[in-house]
Structure 1
Amino acid sequence: MVVEKWKQSGIATKFPTYRNSALVTVDTWQKGKRADDEAEGLWRIHDGIYDFTEFIDKHPGGPFWLRETKGTDITEAFEAHHLTTAPEKMIAKYKLRDAKRPRTYTLTLHEDGFYKTLKERVREQLKTVDKRPKRKSDLIHLGILLSTYLFAVASVRFDSLLALILAGVALCWTVIVSHNYFHRRDNWQMYTFNLGMMNFCSWRISHALSHHIYPNSYMDLELSMFEPLLCWVPNPHIKSKALRYVSWITEPIAYAIAFFIQMGTRIFYSLRHTNIMYWHDLLPLSIPLAMYCGSGGEADVLACILRWLSMTSIASFAFCVIGLNAAHHDPEIYHEGDANREDRDWGLFQVDTIIDRGDLKWSQFLVLTHFGDHVLHHLFPTLDHGLLPALYPVLYETLNQFKGQLRECNHIEHIIGQHKQLLRTVSNTRAPGAAK
């Protein structure tokens, strides 16, 4: 069968099944990945097939990761989420056989390649890194979380628009900072992500297992979930001329309702198809409850709900302004359809899909609340953001060795670049790392 050229993926031998779904969700992404991954119904790591069934409940990071990835190729996720050599030795007893077919994904993780070399150097560097910034991250998260409830209550008690806006900003930052925690083993901080009407379980799939592993590619669910309102893939087959310009107009609306769309889509899919809701989807209701209780029971219930919805919309808008202009969308950044780097190393692919926020590095608070140190976070997602600055020397050393480049700009430049990317339909013909 002849595959249309625009459906040929730059990182895989197949066009992802899930992108043909009428409604794109984490569930359709998972089902599509199971159909595409040549994992033989179990877990695939490199060219081996593993059966972790008996290990699911024993997994140190929590059962979620193995339970939700059964039937898929977890090679890159396994490498990125395990820094020590112990897991690689431990899984040997769970290997059943070699895989029958080659991997679907064309990215590499050679022992002498960029990522494995960097990983070894980071492992050594971490032995001497000051761990106190990790405690600071915890305090920043707790402070912002408490501020969210305090400002929310104050907006009711004092009928204050300023407090309502501050509550929305604090809620946005709470959601962003909690992202620092849901890549890791189960912890209480990850639940605070749900306060924004999203859910950390869904985002562990759409963000940690999809976007983080395959950024800016057809396999990146965070590209698909915004289409057709926002489309960053430079392809005229899926982005009409009219839609390119309309997206600039619809963008503010999409920002303000993004949190609500996330919840609404999951409720709709759960009622019509498979349940993807959890008990902790009720956590956002703790905010209007705190508003009502904080008023001493004197506030109108409907008024509390309307204020809560308003602050959530403010948080949603702020989250998108920060998140969608944080690192990944600019005409100079690799997107699906652009020319591929000759060295297909997974780590270099991560670097090529990111321009970092250079204006944040001086502040741990800003890094945590604005998705800073993005390249290092993508390469080592389980590390606390407070530890990442100490890794720059080995990152620069390894990038120089393998002809990679850490690019940086400020937030305004990112916003401009992101809007240019929404208009781009012509693929870049010069591959990252190629001579000019």
Structure 2
Amino acid sequence: MSKKESLVSGIANKFPTYRRSKFITAYSWQIGKIEDDRTEGLWRIHDNLYDFTEFIDRHPGGSFWIKESQGTDITEAFEAHHISLGPEKMLAKYKVREAKEPRIYTLTIKDGGFYKTLKSRVREKLKEIDYKPTKRTDLIHSGLLAATFAFAIASAYFQNITLGILGGIFLCWNTIAAHNYFHRKDNWRMYTFNLSLMNFHSWRISHALSHHIYPNSLLDLELSMFEPFLCWLPSTHFKTNFQRYFSILVGPIVYMLTFLSQIVMRIAYSLKRSNVMHWHDIIGLSIPLTMIICSELSLWEVLQRWMFLNLVASFCFAAIGLNAAHHEPEIYHDGDAYREDRDWGLFQVDTITDRSDLKGSQFLTLTHFGDHALHHLFPTLDHGILPQLYPAFYETLNEFKGHLRELRYVEHIIGQHKQLLRNKPNKIPPGSRI
């Protein structure tokens, strides 16, 4: 057992199996979670096992969510993705038996706790809120999608670098906005995420089922996939002094290669182990195809301009995403002391620092991962309506001694780099600092 494997996560009582893999992907994460959760090929919610096999194709949110989570503990994912009481009432129909072993996860979602209390208030609030902002969300996304293709085509037609940079920026914004849609039931807009060469299918695993449920922990795939180049965990077991400072220098290169590395990893995994490519991977080729059709450039020239556009988009995406909410020395990362109240909702708040300079702008919120804490707590809700939930959110935070940190973008960037350098755990748990 390595020094790393001797560590136990603050939210689970064992070292995640997937982290022993030399080839960490969304799919190796799934395999490891199945081994760790030991649900006998069924689905676990709290202390019961269920068989949803016959419900896979009838699930209103699409078959993906149930099919890809088979054999795992989906307690937190089930709670976060179902605000209404209907799904909970249906569970009895699919119950097989009580689980024989306790959950390996130490977080809780109990009646009367923070998350259940907040969810009940949000459930009532959703009956009276204004849903018009959801239409504006769709319009913004449609505009971003159109602008991405327009600038990509114009950059090839006029052979202009500035237009290529703008195309990259809009591709970045489109990708972030599309993330709003792949958290929800299947829809055509989630496919536009694939224009980046990433794939919403693997991101539903790495982002929605891993990062959203277990942020800033050993189980967070969006931490482990950047190691050893970027490591935010405050432990010398994961980063040497050289890595701490080297990460500051290598960061911009990692940002620029984020998109390309994703498809390279999927191709490599498909060749070495099992196929994880999908028909919708070809969507990423639609941008260079339109550039070829609408210009007189050769195939090689178009590929060069497309790669430039993609690298710009990737850099912007990572610069926004990795400095959006989670990496700052004052918030919880595995290894830090954790609060006595193990409520999953409070854990989400304790691992997030919101962007204060985005509030009030639906465009900036949608394109820069704004209202991040509420999005983590209720990922299936459109970003456009999240601001209306703040009164209930703050009321519940006050009751349970929670505190949502907010910083401006520059402060986030500084904080993220401080976190890369930090190798000493915080000894004072969240909730004790306010």
The aligned residue for residue 218 of structure 2 is 218
Partner residue in 2 for 1:51:
51
Task: State how far apart, in whole Å, the 2-side matches of 1:5 and 1:275 are.
Answer: 29
**Residue type matched to 2:74 in 1?**
I
Distance across 2 between alignment mates of 1:332 and 1:243: 21
Q: Distance in 2 between matches of 1:373 and 1:435?
A: 23
2:80 maps to 80
3-state SS, counterpart of residue 181 of structure 1 = helix
User: Which runs of structure 2 are paired with 1:153-232 in the superposition (5 Å)?
Assistant: 153-232=153-232
Q: Aligned equivalents of 2:12 and 2:226: distance in 1?
A: 22
**Distance of 2:2 and 2:225 partners within structure 1:** 27
Q: Secondary structure at the match of 2:68?
A: helix
Q: Does 1:136 align with 2:130?
A: no
Match of 2:17 in 1: 17
Distance 2:90 2:6 in 1: 41
Aligned partner of 2:323 among 322, 325, 346: 325
State the alpha-carbon separation in 2 of the partners of residues 117 and 260 from structure 1: 42
Q: Which residue of 2 aligns with 1:108?
A: 108
The CA deviation at 1:434 is: 1.3
Partner of 1:335: 333
Deviations 1:253-299 (A, max 9, x none): 1111111111101100110001111111111110011111122xx22
Within a 5 Å distance, the mapping from 1:28-427 to structure 2 comes to 28-295=28-295, 298-427=296-425
Where structure 1 has 5 or more consecutive residues not aligned to the other structure, the ranges are none
| Structure 1 residues 313-340: Cα deviation after superposition (integer angstroms, max 9, x where no partner) | 0000000100000000011010010001
Structure 1 residue 41: Cα displacement: 1.4
User: Residue 303 of structure 2 aligns to which amino acid in structure 1?
Assistant: I
- In structure 2, relative to structure 1, the CA distance for the partners of 1:303 and 1:393 (3 Å cut) is same
Moved over 3 A (4+): 1-6
Equivalent pairs, count: 434
- After superposition, the Cα gap between the structure-2 partners of 1:3 and 1:312, relative to the gap in structure 1 and judged at 3 Å, is closer
What do the CA deviations read for 1:339-395 (whole angstroms, capped 9, x no partner)? 011000000000000000010012000000000000000000000000000000000
The letter of the residue matching 1:98 is E
1:7 Cα deviation from its structure 2 partner? 1.1
SS, match of residue 155 in structure 1: helix
Letter paired with 1:406: L
What residue is the counterpart of 1:431 in the other structure? Answer: 429
Change (3 A) 1:2 1:161: closer
Once the two structures are TM-superposed, the CA of residue 38 in structure 1 deviates from its matched residue by 2.8
Contact 1:354 1:374 in 2 (8 A): yes
Structure 2 unaligned residues grouped into runs of 5+: none
How far does residue 27 in structure 1 lie from its aligned partner after superposition?
1.0
Aligned-partner residue type, residue 186 of structure 1: D
TM, length-normalised to structure 2: 0.99
C-alpha separation between the residues in 2 aligned to 1:319 and 1:375?
A: 19
Corresponding letter in the other structure for 2:100:
K
- Relative to 1, partners in 2 of residues 1:40 and 1:278: Cα closer, same or farther, differing over 3 Å? same
Q: Distance in 2 between matches of 1:233 and 1:166?
A: 34
1:172–1:316 CA contact under 8 A, matched in 2: yes
1:2 positional shift: 11
Structure 1 counterpart SS, 2:431: coil
Whole-Å separation in 1 of the counterparts to 2:88 and 2:271: 40
RMSD value over aligned CA atoms? 1.2
- Which whole-Å CA distance do the structure 2 matches of 1:283 and 1:262 have between them? 15
Q: Displacement of 1:305 after TM fit?
A: 1.1
CA distance in 1, matches of 2:433, 2:293: 63
The 3-state SS of whatever aligns with 1:420 is: helix
Distance change in 2, residues 1:435/1:129 (3 Å): same
Kindly, what percent of the aligned residue pairs are identical? 63
Contact 1:48/1:97 (8 A) holds in 2? yes
TM-score with structure 1 setting the length: 0.98
Per-residue CA distance 1:105-133 (angstroms, 9 max, x = gap): 00000110000000000000111100000
Write the distance in 2 (CA, Å) between the matches of 1:416 and 1:29: 30
The alpha-carbon deviation at position 6 of structure 1 amounts to 5.3
- Read off the aligned partner of 1:130 and give its amino acid letter: D
